[in-house]
Amino acid sequence: MARPVSALSLATGLTALAVVPFLAGVYYAFAHSGDQAAPALHWLLAYLATIVSFIGGVQWGRMLAAKQAPPQDMVLAVVPALIAWPALLMSGPWPFFMLLAALIIAWLGDENGARQGWQGRGFLQLRRLITLIVAACVVAIGWRVLRG
């Protein structure tokens, strides 16, 4: 009989898979010249917009499941998506900075959730690590594109 997998173990595995495009983007950016690296930044920013929107949905789900859905927390959970999607319509460096801000705000929402009691400690540790890795990947690619 198969042993059941914990939700945190499954989330960890799926999160590891979700970070693969960011790591591949870093490889692509550094394997090519700066102007050829720009597409990696472009498609990873679109992927990041999707990720921060997903995080907001996860936060809503955790709040509702815990029957702790303060209005300010629910609003905070959608702010990253409201920043991320318009950022994709902009040009220049704005999308880069806005999406990094959206990622950080999403992480701060999880930190707040741990204090409020609707976010688990194990998941929060995972979010801290993955936020650091994703932010580092995006910054590395952005640096590569700007450096040329």
Q: What is the pLDDT, as a whole number, of residue 54?
A: 94
- Residue 62 scores a pLDDT above 70: yes
Give this prediction's pTM: 0.91
Q: What is the pLDDT, as a whole number, of residue 87?
A: 96
Taking CA atoms, 22 is separated from 40, 54, 55, 67, 141, in Å, by 9, 16, 16, 34, 9
Confidence grade of residue 53 (pLDDT, cut at 50, 70, 90): very high
- Residue 2 scores a pLDDT above 80: no
Q: What is the pLDDT, as a whole number, of residue 141?
A: 93
DSSP 3-29: PPPPHHHHHHHHHHHHHHHHHHHHHHH
- Residue 145 scores a pLDDT above 80: yes
**Type of residue found at 12:** T
Domain residue extents for the chain: 18-147
pLDDT tens-digit map of 17-51 = 999 999 999 999 999 887 788 898 999 999 999 99
Confidence grade of residue 147 (pLDDT, cut at 50, 70, 90): confident
Taking CA atoms, 104 is separated from 36, 37, 69, 97, in Å, by 28, 24, 21, 11
pLDDT tens-digit map of 111-143 = 999 999 989 999 999 999 999 999 999 999 999
Of residues 78 and 69, more confidence is placed in: 78
| Alpha carbon distance 23, 1 (integer Å) | 36
Q: Provide mean pLDDT across the span 88-99.
A: 93
Q: Cα angle at 130 between 45 and 143, to 5 degrees?
A: 45
Residues in CB range of 135: below 8 A, 6 or more apart: 100, 103, 104
Q: What is the pLDDT, as a whole number, of residue 1?
A: 66
